[in-house]
Structure 1
C-alpha cells in the first residue's frame, strides 16, 4: 500500500514527535549516549519552545514509560486544582463554567516537575545537557511554523489591549513571526539559564542537582513569579477580568508522582493507558466493544467506520458520566465482558444522536446539567468539540504535542505535553511563558466525578498509549487532538492490529496514513463545553461511497480535507530481533520520525 513515508527501521533508537526539531534534538541525545528518557526530556523542553501555541512549561504532561526489564508505569505530570479553587468561589463570581482562558483556569503546572522527575529517576544525563537544546532555540531562535503566526494574529487584539506581557514575547516590534522567520524567547532562555545556575550552585551529585532544580521550580524564583502573576486580574473568556487562585503553597505542596497504568487485553495485546483522571480508558472501552468481531475483512468498509463511530459514542458517554478524579471510577465494571456485551447490543444499523452512558455494576449514571442540556438529539447543540481552535474574543483553545522514544536497550516512553499555550493566559513577564487553563475541564456542579475539587486533578484529554505483547513492550503511540485523541488512537491501533506486516514489522506509517474520522456527540472538554449530537467528521479520502452510506445510516457527516484528522506518532520494538521502528503523521507538515 502507498504511504506518505516509509516506516523507519533500525537497531539503535527511534524518536517520533510532532515537531522535527524536537525529534532531532532527542535523537542527538541518543547518539551522545543518552537513553530514551534523556531523549524524551530533551524533546519535551524543545517542544515547549518550538510549539508554543500547543504547549508550554506552564502546562501538563502525562507519561507512560516502560523501563527495560521493569513494569510499565505512569508518571503523572497533571497538576491539581488549587486549594482555593472551590465551586463556591467560581459561582460566587457569577460563573456557570470555568473560563477557558486566564489565571482563574490555572492548575498547578505539572509538566516541568514531571520532566525533571523522569530525568532524575530514569535518565543518565545532566540537566544542562538535556535543557541546552531548548535554551539554544529560545535564545538563538527557531524557524516558526505557519500556525504560530496565524494563532498570534488571531489573538493580536487581546494581546495588545489586555495581555501586554504576551505581546512583548510573541509580538516583538508589533509583528507576529512569519512562516520560517526566526522566533526567539529570550525571557524563557534566561529562566532556564538561571535555573541551571541555581541548581548547580546547590552542589551534590546529578540527582541532587536535579532535586535542587525541582525546588527552584516549585519554591524559588520561578514558583514565586508564578504565584505573584496568578494573583493579578486578567481578561478571560467570560469577558471580565479575574484574578487566579493559584498560590505559592499550591506550587510547593505538589510533586509529580508514579502510579500504575490501566490495562486491557485485546487479541494478544496488552494496551496500557493513564487512569480515569484522563480520558485514556475510553480507548480501552472502545476495544472492549470491538471484541464482538471486527476483522481484517471489515477494515475500511462503511460498516467498520459505523461500528467504531458508534462504539466511541458509548465510550465517551461513559467518560462524561464516570471519569474524573473527584469520585470513585468503576473501571473494573466498565471494562468487564458482561458490561460491554450489553453496551454493544445498543449499536444498531442507524446512528444514535443521544448521549447514552451506561450503568456499570447497576450504578445510576449522573451527567452535569450542562451535559444534559447539550445531549438533545436535535439541533446544533453548541460549539463543536473537534481539535481545539482559536478565536479572537478570548475563547482561545490550544492543542497538544506528543513524543515517543525507544532506545537500543529496550526502554520505551510515550508522553503528551500540552497546556500553557501562548493563547491560554498572559505570559508571566519574568519567566517568558503563560500558565495553563486545565480547570476549564471541570464542572461547577457538585457530586460529579469531574466536579471542580481543590487538590484533585481535572479530567484531562491528554492520553499517551503503550502496548505490550506478552510481557514485552512493543509499541508507544499518541496524538494531539483534544477530545479526539482516543478516537484517532483507536483507529490507528485497530488498523495496525488488522494490517499485514511491512518488511517483517508493524505497518506504523500505513496505520497513521489511513483515512481518519471522529464524532462529536458529547460535551467538549473545552470552554464553552458545546456538543454536536450525531455529527461525524471524515477525511474525504474515506470515499464517496462510505460518506453516502454513513448518511443513509443517519450520521450528520461533515467531509473535511483529505489530510486533516489526527497527528499521530509511534515507535515500536521487536523483542525477538531488537529491531526498532518509527513513523510520524504527515498531516500539518510538522511531525517527524528519526532513527537508525
Structure 2
C-alpha cells in the first residue's frame, strides 16, 4: 500500500499534530525530560499561536489522557459553559432566533487555558514557564503564517477594517492582510503570556502554586477583567447587527476545568475511549458497534486487498460496498446524535451503545442511499428533534454544504464558518498517552479582546434556541461540541488519535480505524488511504446545513467507485484526490515499540519521534 511517509517507530517518544512547529515543540519537551502530559500542554499552547484561524488561548479543548503506570484513562473537559445571562428569554428579547456564528453573543467561557493547566497540574512534571515558553516565543518573535491562515485573514479583512478594529490591529499589520509564509507576530498575545508567567513566578517556588496563580490571573484577574469590559461593547455579528455579549467575569471566575471518566466500548477487538455526550464522541462508538453487528471485517479486508492490488473497483466491488455501508451507518448514528446528545443529565448512553441496539439499527441499512432522518428509540425513549430540523426534513429539502476540503473552515466575508480545529497526540517512553483537540477562539469568528491578543470561543452557536432539547441553550450548560479526541487501548498496546473537521471528525476516523484494526494497514497507511464523509448529517454550526444523500469523497477512491455510489442514490461530490481529514496518531505497538503518524494533506501535519 502506497504511503506518503513511513510510520515512525522508536522507543523514546512520539508527537503527532496538525502543525510541524507544535510537533517539534512537544518533542523538545520530551527530550528535556518531560512526560506526555507536559509535551501535550506545550504543543497545545503552540497550536494556539501558530494556527490562530483554527484555535486560540481563549478557545475550547477536550483532552483524553492515559496514565500507563496504573492504566488510568480520563477526560479533562476544557469546554466552557454558557453564561449565566444566556437564557432563551434574553435571545428572544433581542429578536434573535438562532445564535449567530460570530461575534459576542456566541461567546462561552474560554476553557482551553484552564484545561491545559489542569492537565499540567494533575499529570505533568514541568513548570508552567517550560511549557508556555515556546508559544510565548512564537507570539513575540514570529512564525511563518500558514497559507490557510493568510487566506482566512484576507477573506475577513474588510469586516475587520470596518467593524472589528481590535482584530484589524493584530491581523492587518500596516492595514493589509499578511502574505502566506510571512513572519507573523502577535505582541499583545506575547505580553499576555508574559503577564501570566509573572503572576506564576510571584506565587513562589511551588510548581502547583505557580500554575494556580496563572489560572486565577486568567479567570479572575486581568484577563477576565478585559473580557468582561470588551464583551459589553456591541460588535457586528452574523446577523448583520451589532450586539453586546452575555459573558461576564463572574462566569469565568465560577468555571473550572473538570476531570471525568471516558465513555468507552469494547469493539473490533479493542477498547475505544471518547468523551461523554456533551461532545459528539459517542457517535463514533455507535458507528463501530453497528459495523461490528454487520460483520464488516471480511469486507474491509477485501477492500484493502483490492486497493493494494491496483485493480480498480468497477462500482460493484468491495470498496464501493464499504463506502456505502459506512456512510449509511453514519447517517443512523448522527440521527441519534441530533435526537439525544447534549450536556443533559438523561442521555441514554448505555442503551445507545448496547450491542442489542446496534444490531437493531444495523438492520436498517439497505442497498440504496436513504434520505430520511431516522433516529432510533434506545431503551424505548422517543426521539426529540429540533422543530427546524423536522421542518427542513419534512420539506424534503436541504441546504447544500461545501465539501470543505482538508477539514478547513469555509469562511464567508462575515466570518461565518462551520468550524474547525487542531489536533495533537503524544506518547512517551513510559507509555503515557494524550489525545487533544483544541479549537475555538477563531480569529475570523470573534473580535480580538483588546490588549490580550486573542479572541473568545463562539461555541454557543451550537445551542438550539428551543426549549426541551438535549442541546437547548441553558445557562451553565456546555454546548454540544464536535471536538472529539480518542484513545484505543488493547492488551499492552494502543494509540491516541483524532482529527479536526467539525462534524466530519467522527466520520473520517471510521475508515481509518477499519483499515488499521481490521485491514492490517499501519497507522500511516490508514491515514493516507482515500477518505469520504456524509453531508446528509445535520451540521452542528450555523447555518446548520445538510445535503440529502450527500456524500463527499476523494477521487482516489476511483471513478468506478464514485459512479457506483451515485448509482446507489448518493449525491456524490468529488473533493479531489487529497482533501479530506487531518488525522494524526501516536501510540504503543503490541511489541512495545512506539509509533507515530500524521496526515500529509495540506502539507503541515507532521509526526516526530525516536
TM range (shorter): over 0.9
Equivalent residue for 2:594? 580
Q: Deviations over 1:242-292 (max 9, x none)?
A: 111111110000100100000111122000001100000000000011112
Asked whether 1:546 is paired with 2:561, we answer yes
Unaligned runs of 5+ in 1: 502-506
SS at match of 1:428: coil
* TM-score of the aligned structures, taking structure 1 as reference length: 0.97
SS at match of 1:203: coil
Match of 1:427 among 448, 470, 475: 448
Equivalent residue for 1:152? 153
Compute the displacement of 1:473 (Å). Answer: 5.1
Asked whether 1:591 is paired with 2:593, we answer no
Asked whether 1:365 is paired with 2:370, we answer no
* TM-score of the aligned structures, taking structure 2 as reference length: 0.95
Give the aligned CA root-mean-square deviation in angstroms: 1.3
Between the aligned partners of 2:475 and 2:390, the Cα distance in structure 1 is 25
Query: Is the CA contact 1:353–1:377 (under 8 Å) kept in the aligned structure 2?
Result: no
Compute the displacement of 1:10 (Å). Answer: 0.4
SS at match of 1:258: strand
Q: How many residues align?
A: 589
Equivalent residue for 2:374? 356
Match of 2:479 among 451, 458, 469: 458
SS at match of 2:514: helix
SS at match of 1:433: coil
Compute the displacement of 1:122 (Å). Answer: 0.7
Q: Deviations over 1:203-260 (max 9, x none)?
A: 1400111011111111010111111111111110011111111111100001001000
Between the aligned partners of 1:557 and 1:311, the Cα distance in structure 2 is 17
Q: Deviations over 1:338-392 (max 9, x none)?
A: 2111111110001001111111111110110111123247444354585431000
Q: Please show how residues 198-347 of structure 1 align to structure 2 within 5 Å.
A: 198-291=199-292, 292-295=294-297, 296-299=301-304, 301-347=319-365
Q: Deviations over 1:559-590 (max 9, x none)?
A: 1110110000101202x543101000011111
Between the aligned partners of 2:540 and 2:330, the Cα distance in structure 1 is 15
SS at match of 2:547: coil
Equivalent residue for 1:38? 38
Equivalent residue for 1:21? 21
Equivalent residue for 2:461? 440
Between the aligned partners of 1:97 and 1:260, the Cα distance in structure 2 is 32
Between the aligned partners of 2:159 and 2:97, the Cα distance in structure 1 is 23
Between the aligned partners of 2:227 and 2:375, the Cα distance in structure 1 is 39
Compute the displacement of 1:311 (Å). Answer: 0.2
Equivalent residue for 2:6? 6
Q: Please show how residues 174-189 of structure 1 align to structure 2 within 5 Å.
A: 174-189=175-190
Between the aligned partners of 1:58 and 1:553, the Cα distance in structure 2 is 44
Q: Deviations over 1:507-550 (max 9, x none)?
A: 01000001000001122111111111110000000101111110
Q: Deviations over 1:37-61 (max 9, x none)?
A: 1100000110011000000011100
Equivalent residue for 2:98? 97
Q: Deviations over 1:116-162 (max 9, x none)?
A: 11111111111111111001100000011101110001001110000
Query: Is the CA contact 1:389–1:399 (under 8 Å) kept in the aligned structure 2?
Result: no
Q: Greater CA deviation, 97-106 or 65-74?
A: 65-74
Between the aligned partners of 1:393 and 1:198, the Cα distance in structure 2 is 37
Unaligned runs of 5+ in 2: 305-317
Equivalent residue for 2:528? 513
Compute the displacement of 1:298 (Å). Answer: 4.4
Compute the displacement of 1:35 (Å). Answer: 0.6
Equivalent residue for 1:504? none
Between the aligned partners of 2:277 and 2:548, the Cα distance in structure 1 is 24
Equivalent residue for 2:314? none
Q: Please show how residues 484-563 of structure 1 align to structure 2 within 5 Å.
A: 484-500=504-520, 507-563=522-578
SS at match of 1:537: strand
